[in-house]
Structures are given as C-alpha cells and as structure tokens.
C-alpha cells in the first residue's frame, strides 16, 4: 500500500519554484509555455513509510487518524513504537504491550538510530522488556506511564552512545521532534495542494 500523492517541484522562472501534483504546459509564474526548466521536475521526498518495511527502527504515528489527512501539530498526540529486526511492531498503550498491529503503522515516520551491528542487542533489549510485568495494561497511565515511557526505557536500556535520555521531554526534544519536521512540512504542502493547483516558493524547501 502506498499513499504517496506524488508532489512534484520544478523551477521554470529564475526566482520561483513551483510545487504541484501535475506539471502544467504553461508556467504559473510567467504564463509562458514551458519548453525547458531551470530546475528539472523532481518528486518531493515522501516522509511516511510502512513500519513493517523498516526493521530495527523507532516508529511514530498520530494517536488517531493519519498524518496526511488528520494530524494537527498544535493539538494532537503522537504515538511511538519499536520495530524489531523482522519488522514486528511493539507498542505500549492502555491495553498493555501490543505486538504486530501492523495495519495502524502503514503511514508512520520510521527512523533508524543504531547501526546494523546493534541488531541483536536491539532485539534482546526489546524481548527482555516485553517480559517485564511493568508494561501490563493495569500500569498504563496517559500521562505518567505511556508509550513514550516505554521507548524511553528501551533506548536507555539499549546502552547505545548518544541514545541516553533524562526524561520523555528530553527524548521528544532531542530525537522525536527533529525526525518529524519534514513530515510536518510535507503535510502543510499536501493540504495546500488539495485546495489549489500550485504553490509557489522562493526556495526549494517548502517551509
């Protein structure tokens, strides 16, 4: 399954980039017929992935709905899970630990934080935590014992350099927020192009 809307960027005129879903025959900046480009059309990198296709990663998705159509950065919560080396997903929520609910992780942001050499340690740490009674549903608390606590403890237990975090706030600030910036930019671009044919920018970045 691939929900990539195929957003394209090109530059025909010297000072404006054009973002669109379909390359026009006439330039929306200068209104002349397009015969060549200053920057050839390229597809804007799609930031979302199927978690099952990204083993040994951290995965992030909205708590409800999808990133593209539903997520509101100002009010909606994020949910985070851990992907093992086989593409299995382990997450912690009000039902306790859940493994392999893959259908809810098709349009997530997934990212690697350790090299391949750490794959065995990654799986061993995840397996050990999965046997810990602390992660039963009875211990879940929306504020004090949630999915971010699970990932925080996992990364701290993993023992990999630069992946030690003092708190959930530290985890979000240093790792999570940096990984979803491109996703947030892409969401804004996608939603703008749902209501207009083109988006013009002075830069190849669409921020």
pTM: 0.89
In sequence order, what DSSP letters do the residues of 95-154 get, joined into one string? TEEEE--GGGGTTBEEE--S-GGGHHHHHHHHHHHHT-GGGSGGG-BTTTBSHHHHHHHH
Averaged confidence pLDDT in the chain:
94
Neighbour-count burial of 195, counting CB atoms closer than 10 A to its CB (0-12 exposed, 13-18 middle, 19+ buried): exposed
| pLDDT score, position 119 | 98
| pLDDT score, position 3 | 77
Confidence at 206, pLDDT banded by 50, 70, 90: low
Q: Where are the domains of the chain?
A: 51-183
For the stretch 68-94, pLDDT in tens is 999 999 999 999 999 999 999 999 999
Which helix (H) or strand (E) is 158 found in, with range? helix 147-158
Token code pair at residue 185: 């930019």
The more confident residue out of 79 and 205 is: 79
For the stretch 140-187, pLDDT in tens is 999 999 999 999 999 999 999 989 999 999 999 999 999 999 999 999
Residue 207 has pLDDT above 60, yes or no: no
Mean pLDDT across the stretch 2-12?
Answer: 89
| pLDDT score, position 46 | 95
Three-state DSSP class for residue 81:
strand
Confidence at 15, pLDDT banded by 50, 70, 90: confident
Cβ-contact 77, 61 below 8 angstroms: no
CA distance 63 to 148: 12
């Amino acid at each position: 399954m691939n929900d990539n809307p195929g957003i394209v960027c090109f530059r025909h005129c010297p000072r404006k980039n054009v973002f669109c879903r379909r390359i026009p025959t006439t330039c929306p900046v200068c209104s002349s017929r397009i015969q060549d480009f200053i920057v050839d059309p390229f597809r804007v990198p799609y930031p979302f992935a199927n978690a099952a296709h990204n083993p040994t990663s951290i995965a992030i998705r909205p708590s409800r709905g999808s990133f593209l159509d539903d997520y509101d950065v100002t009010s909606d919560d994020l949910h985070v899970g851990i992907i093992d080396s086989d593409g299995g997903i382990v997450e912690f929520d009000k039902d306790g630990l859940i493994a392999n609910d893959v259908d809810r992780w098709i349009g997530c942001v997934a990212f690697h934080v350790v090299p391949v050499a750490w794959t065995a340690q990654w799986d061993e740490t995840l397996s050990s935590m999965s046997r810990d009674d602390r992660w039963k549903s009875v211990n879940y608390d929306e504020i004090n014992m949630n999915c971010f606590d699970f990932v925080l403890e996992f990364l701290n237990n993993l023992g990999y350099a630069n992946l030690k975090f003092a708190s959930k706030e530290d985890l979000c600030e240093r790792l999570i927020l940096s990984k979803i910036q491109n996703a947030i930019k892409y969401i804004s671009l996608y939603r703008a192009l749902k209501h207009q044919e083109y988006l013009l920018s002075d830069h190849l970045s669409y921020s």
